[in-house]
């Protein structure tokens, strides 16, 4: 009986020691460059295989004990790894992440938007030329009224020309989006491949107006924000 009590006591002591040695490391995550908080940072305990994520205010907390290695990782930043010490478990421990400067390798794009656009406009120059409206080519001058030409405007040939011009403009806009948002470039920057890359390209395909107003640096920022949204788990 006494031996059994001793064994139970030892088990309880070991359990209590383990319980108290397991605690939380917590704090805030900032950018090294400007001290802005970083949200959605993946926090991973390499020893215990626990994972967590920083909230919108940059706060994080994860179960850990002295000696554990914690990895902080986020898109657009270099990973940071720390080894938990006893004092880190007593007070908040803040982390600063360094922004990753990415040097993209040259990407060979077989399709040239500019060359294709010039060739298309040369080939369909008659279609791209200003078409006569419902008034034909008549314009009011010297007090003379406009003469309507509904027959020519609503003819099958004129309708086909207008429809073709609309399709050509839409095609040119689509080609410009492909030029500004090439799959080869996105794949290299995000590391996505196959179905994941195709889904990302479809889901976050930018508009023509956005591409016209955005340079390469702006597109990089856009892709960086969207890849974080793409990888965000759905609970």
Same domain, 85 and 144: no
DSSP assignment letter at 44: E
Q: How many CB atoms lie within 10 A of CB 47?
A: 13
Q: Does 108 fall in a domain?
A: no
Which pLDDT value is given to residue 92? 92
Q: Does 43 fall in a domain?
A: yes
Give SS3 for 106: coil
- Tell me how far apart the alpha carbons of residues 51 and 63 are, in angstroms, rounded to a whole number: 9
Considering 62, 97, 132, which residue would you say is the last residue of a domain? 97
Total number of domains constituting the chain = 2
Per-residue pLDDT of the chain (235 residues; tens, 9 = 90+): 555 444 445 445 444 444 444 589 999 999 987 888 999 888 888 888 888 889 999 999 999 999 999 988 887 788 889 999 998 999 999 999 988 765 545 544 445 555 555 555 555 555 556 655 545 545 555 445 554 455 555 566 667 667 767 777 787 888 888 888 988 888 888 889 888 999 999 999 999 999 989 888 889 899 999 998 898 876 5
Which pLDDT value is given to residue 148? 46
Same domain, 134 and 208: yes
- Tell me how far apart the alpha carbons of residues 153 and 158 are, in angstroms, rounded to a whole number: 6
Q: Does 117 fall in a domain?
A: yes
What range defines the domain where residue 140 resides?
Answer: 113-231
Same domain, 206 and 132: yes
Q: Does 153 fall in a domain?
A: yes
DSSP annotation string for 163-206: HHHHHHHHHHHHHHHHHHS-HHHHHHHH---HHHHHHHHHHTPP
Q: Does 80 fall in a domain?
A: yes
Same domain, 52 and 124: no
Same domain, 121 and 227: yes
Q: How many CB atoms lie within 10 A of CB 134?
A: 13
Which pLDDT value is given to residue 5? 45
Same domain, 224 and 144: yes
pTM of the model: 0.42
Same domain, 166 and 218: yes
Same domain, 88 and 145: no
Same domain, 189 and 223: yes
């Amino acid at each position: 009986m006494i031996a059994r009590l001793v064994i139970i006591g030892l088990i309880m002591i070991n359990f209590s020691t383990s319980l108290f040695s397991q605690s939380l490391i917590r704090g805030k995550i900032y950018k090294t460059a400007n001290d802005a908080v970083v949200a959605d940072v993946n926090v991973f305990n390499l020893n215990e295989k626990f994972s967590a994520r920083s909230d919108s205010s940059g706060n994080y907390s994860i179960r850990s004990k002295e000696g554990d290695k914690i990895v902080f990782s986020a898109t657009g930043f270099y990973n940071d790894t720390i080894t938990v010490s006893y004092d880190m478990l007593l007070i908040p421990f803040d982390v600063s992440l360094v922004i990753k400067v990415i040097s993209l390798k040259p990407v060979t794009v077989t399709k040239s938007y500019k060359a294709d656009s010039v060739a298309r406009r040369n080939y369909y120059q008659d279609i791209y030329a200003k078409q006569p409206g419902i008034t034909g080519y008549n314009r009011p001058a010297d007090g003379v009224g406009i003469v309507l030409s509904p027959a020519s405007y609503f003819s099958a040939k004129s309708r086909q020309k207008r429809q073709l011009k609309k399709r050509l403009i839409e095609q040119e806009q689509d080609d410009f989006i492909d030029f500004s948002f090439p799959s080869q470039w996105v794949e290299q920057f995000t590391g996505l491949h196959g179905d994941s890359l195709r889904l990302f390209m479809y889901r976050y395909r930018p508009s023509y107006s956005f591409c016209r107003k955005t340079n390469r640096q702006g597109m990089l920022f856009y892709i960086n924000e969207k890849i974080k949204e793409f990888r965000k788990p759905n609970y």
